[in-house]
Amino acid sequence: MRFGHYVIILTYTMALLGITALSLVESITPAFVVFLSLVAVASLLVNLRNAQVVPRWLWNMLALAILLFFIVDYAIISRNLLVSASRFLSVLMVSKLFDLRTNRDYIITYTLVFFQILAAAASTVSIMFMGILAVFLVSGIWAMIILNLKRDWAVANPLYAKEPPGRLFGRRFFVFIIGAATATLVMTFALFFIMPRSGLGFLERKTADTVKVTGFSDTVDLGDLGAVKTDRTVVMRVGIKKNPPAGVIHFRGSALDHYDGRRWSRAAKKTKPVMKSRANRFLIDSSQERLLEQEILLEPLETDVLIAASNVAHIDGKFPSLRVDQSGTLYLPAPPYSRIEYVAWSDIIHPKIDKADAVAEEFRETVFLDTDPSGPAIRALTAKVIKDARDDHGRAVALEVYLKGAYAYTLNPDHTEGKTPLEDFLFYSKEGYCEHFASAMVIMLRAANIPSRLATGFIQGEWNAYGGYFIVRQENAHSWVEAYIKGRGWVTFDPTPGEGLGIYAKPSALSLYIDFIRWKWNRNIIHFTLFDQVKIAAAVERNLHSYFTAIKKAFSWDKEAASKGLSIPPKTLLATVALLLIIAAAIAALRLRATARGRVVKTPWYYVEMTAILKKKGIERRPDETPVEFARRLDSHSVYELTARHDAQRYGASRLEQDELTALKNMLQEIKKTNFTRKV
Sheet holding 305-306, edge to edge: 271-273, 323-325, 330-331, 305-306
* 411-437 tens-digit pLDDT: 888 777 767 888 888 888 888 888 899
pLDDT of residue 208 exceeding 50? no
Judged by average pLDDT, the poorest of 158-162, 530-534, 582-586, 634-638 is: 158-162
- Alpha carbon distances (Å) from 234 to 23, 297, 411, 476: 21, 11, 20, 10
For residue 73, the Cα-to-chain-centroid distance in whole angstroms is 28
Whole-number Å distance between alpha carbons of 229 and 436 = 14
Nearest to residue 87, comparing CAs of 73, 106, 101? Answer: 73
User: pLDDT tens-digit profile of 568-583?
Assistant: 556 556 666 777 888 8
Q: How confident is the model at residue 399 (pLDDT cuts 50, 70, 90)?
A: very high
Angle between helices 103-121 and 81-96 (to 10 degrees): 150
Please state at what angle helix 128-156 crosses helix 3-23, rounded to 10 degrees: 150
Pairing of strands 431-432, 408-409: parallel
CA distance 679 to 156: 19
> What is d(CA 447, CA 441) in angstroms, rounded to the nearest whole number?
10
3-state secondary structure of 420: coil
CB of 363 closer than 8 Å to CB of 338: no
Who contacts 460 (Cβ-Cβ below 8 Å, separation ≥6)? 238, 244, 248, 249, 250, 251, 470, 472, 476
Segment (H or E) for 314: strand 312-317
Tell whether pTM > 0.75.
no
Q: What is the pLDDT of residues 48-81, one digit of tens each?
A: 877 666 677 777 788 788 888 888 877 787 777 7
Residue 298 DSSP SS3? strand
Query: What does the pLDDT read at residue 555?
Result: 59
**Helix, strand, coil percentages in the chain from 3-state DSSP, rounded to 5:** 50, 15, 35
Grouping H, G, I as helix, E, B as strand and the rest as coil, residue 497 is coil
The pLDDT of residue 404 is 92
Query: pLDDT-based confidence at 598, cuts 50/70/90?
Result: very low
Question: Which among 321, 252, 649 has a CA at the least distance from the CA of 480?
Answer: 252
Q: What residue type is assigned to position 435 of the chain?
A: E
The amino acid at residue 113 is V
Q: Rounded to whole angstroms, how far apart are CA atoms 129 and 281?
A: 33
Taking only the tens place, the pLDDT of each residue in 20-29 is 888 887 678 8
- Report the distance separating Cα 575 and Cα 555, nearest Å: 10
Residue-wise pLDDT tens digits, 469-516: 999 988 888 999 999 988 888 899 999 987 666 555 567 778 787 788
Contact 446, 365 (CB under 8 A): yes
